[in-house]
């Protein structure tokens, strides 16, 4: 009898707790954005006859209740701790959460995706480039490249690079792998740290026949860095310091954003305090922009086909060129390039990360 009463009491308390949380969910002012998850949250659905009859209201309310549930971040954080510390799982939602780093699982190898990327590169080369163009490519490893093969599930990187080299053919490959290590990347983000890749920029420049500056002042950004993985670790990481490099010549660069028809700064402090602080570098994902360096009177120009990693290395590469053009064919279809860019006598560099190449359906 006592045991039955005890169970009933537990059920009543649990039911009451759920009812209170549900009522709070309905009455509280809904959040527009989850900064921990870096996404918009579902809002209360419209109550009308059409939505009620179609079942749309019920579906949207379920999403709303899930997104706006009180203490949601706390419960998600507890779930991460439970999976990592109690269940001893290596990955949580396809993230490896280690003592100081969060690393996205990149697996399996999508050979068709590599073939698609290489085919697109070759199409650009055949359509727009001539023998006078010097064409290069380099591949940026994602953070899982540096993990132990025995402990973690990850790509067969040897097969990855072999397939890309086979598909690309006669373009000149610049190997930057020996110059990178895990500490060159943000702990809470997939991107590399600008102050750590000066040597990488110099290696790229050396192979392309230009001299890349190495005399920079390293400055600290006046905002804590919360990378894209910080949210998904739910409190298991601390904010990082963010740095940028500068010198007198770099301060004279002129950067033009053709997507929005405006001049922009090399570094935008307002972006460092936004939802994606990596947009501090060249204002983030823009389809077409140029960097002009008035101090480089060598007549050399470079066109970089790029993903987001190039935002932080392009200002370094610009020290060796009179003009650098950055093209992101995730947003600017390659079929339209001839309307925007004159490729005559320019160096061309395809610079992409393994994670984008392994999911190249975004490239157009």
Which helix (H) or strand (E) element contains residue 92? strand 91-92
Confidence tier at 100 by pLDDT (50, 70, 90): confident
The answer for residues whose C-beta is within 8 angstroms of residue 306's C-beta and 6 or more apart is 314, 326, 327, 328, 351, 352
108 cis-preceded (ω within 30 degrees of 0): yes
pLDDT of residue 116 exceeding 50: yes
The pLDDT value given to residue 275: 85
pLDDT at 108 > cutoff 50: yes
Q: Cα separation of 196 and 218, whole Å?
A: 10
The DSSP output letter for 35 is T
Residues 89 and 83 sit within 8 Å (Cβ to Cβ)? yes
Write down the residue that tokens 């990327």 correspond to.
117
pLDDT at residue 92 is higher than 90: no
> Quick check: helix, strand or coil at residue 225?
strand
List beta partners, residue 220. 243
Q: What is the mean pLDDT of residues 212-223?
A: 96
Q: What are the tens digits of pLDDT across the range 268-313? A: 999 998 889 999 999 999 999 999 999 998 999 999 999 999 999 9
pLDDT at 320 over 70: yes
pLDDT at 325 over 50: yes
Are 337 and 225 a contacting pair, CB within 8 Å? no
Mean pLDDT of the chain: 86
pLDDT at residue 339 tops 80 = yes
Residue 73 CB neighbours (<10 A): 16
Q: Is the pLDDT of residue 332 over 50?
A: yes
Cβ–Cβ contacts within 10 Å for residue 237, how many? 21
Q: Rounded to an integer, what distance in angstroms lies between the CA atom of residue 306 and that of residue 329?
A: 8
In angstroms, how far is CA 319 from the centroid of its own chain?
A: 24
Give pLDDT, residue 87. Answer: 46
229 band by pLDDT with thresholds 50, 70 and 90: confident
Residue of higher predicted confidence among 21 and 68: 68
């Amino acid at each position: 009898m006592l045991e039955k009463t005890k169970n009933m009491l537990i059920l009543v308390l649990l039911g009451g707790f759920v009812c209170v949380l549900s009522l709070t969910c309905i009455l509280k002012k809904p959040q527009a954005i989850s900064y921990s998850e870096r996404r918009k949250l579902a809002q209360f659905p419209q109550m009308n006859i059409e939505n009620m009859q179609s079942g749309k209201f019920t579906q949207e309310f379920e999403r709303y209740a899930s997104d706006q549930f009180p203490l949601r971040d706390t419960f998600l954080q507890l779930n991460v701790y439970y999976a990592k510390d109690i269940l001893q799982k290596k990955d949580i939602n396809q993230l490896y959460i280690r003592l100081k780093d969060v690393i996205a699982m990149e697996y399996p190898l999508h050979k068709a995706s590599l073939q698609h990327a290489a085919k697109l590169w070759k199409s650009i080369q055949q359509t727009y480039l001539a023998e006078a163009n010097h064409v290069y490519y380099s591949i940026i490893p994602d953070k899982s490249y540096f993990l132990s093969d025995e402990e973690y599930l990850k790509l067969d990187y040897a097969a990855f690079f072999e397939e890309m080299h086979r598909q690309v053919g006669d373009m000149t490959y610049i190997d930057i792998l020996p110059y990178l290590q895990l500490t060159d990347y943000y702990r809470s983000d997939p991107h590399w740290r600008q102050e750590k890749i000066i040597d990488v920029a110099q290696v790229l420049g050396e192979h392309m026949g230009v001299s890349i500056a190495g005399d920079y002042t390293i400055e600290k950004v006046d905002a804590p860095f919360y990378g894209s993985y910080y949210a998904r670790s739910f409190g298991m990481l601390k904010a990082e310091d963010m740095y940028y490099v500068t010198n007198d010549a770099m301060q004279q660069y002129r950067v033009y954003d053709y997507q929005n028809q405006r001049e922009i700064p090399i570094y935008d402090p307002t972006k460092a305090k936004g939802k994606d602080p990596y947009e501090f570098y060249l204002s983030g994902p823009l389809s077409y922009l140029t960097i002009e360096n008035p101090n480089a009177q060598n007549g050399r120009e470079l066109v970089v086909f790029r993903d987001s990693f190039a935002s932080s290395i392009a200002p370094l590469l610009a020290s060796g060129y009179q003009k650098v053009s950055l093209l992101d064919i995730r947003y600017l279809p390659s079929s339209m390039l001839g309307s925007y860019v004159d490729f005559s006598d320019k160096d061309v560099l395809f610079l992409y990360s393994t994670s984008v190449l392994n999911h190249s359906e975004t490239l157009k």
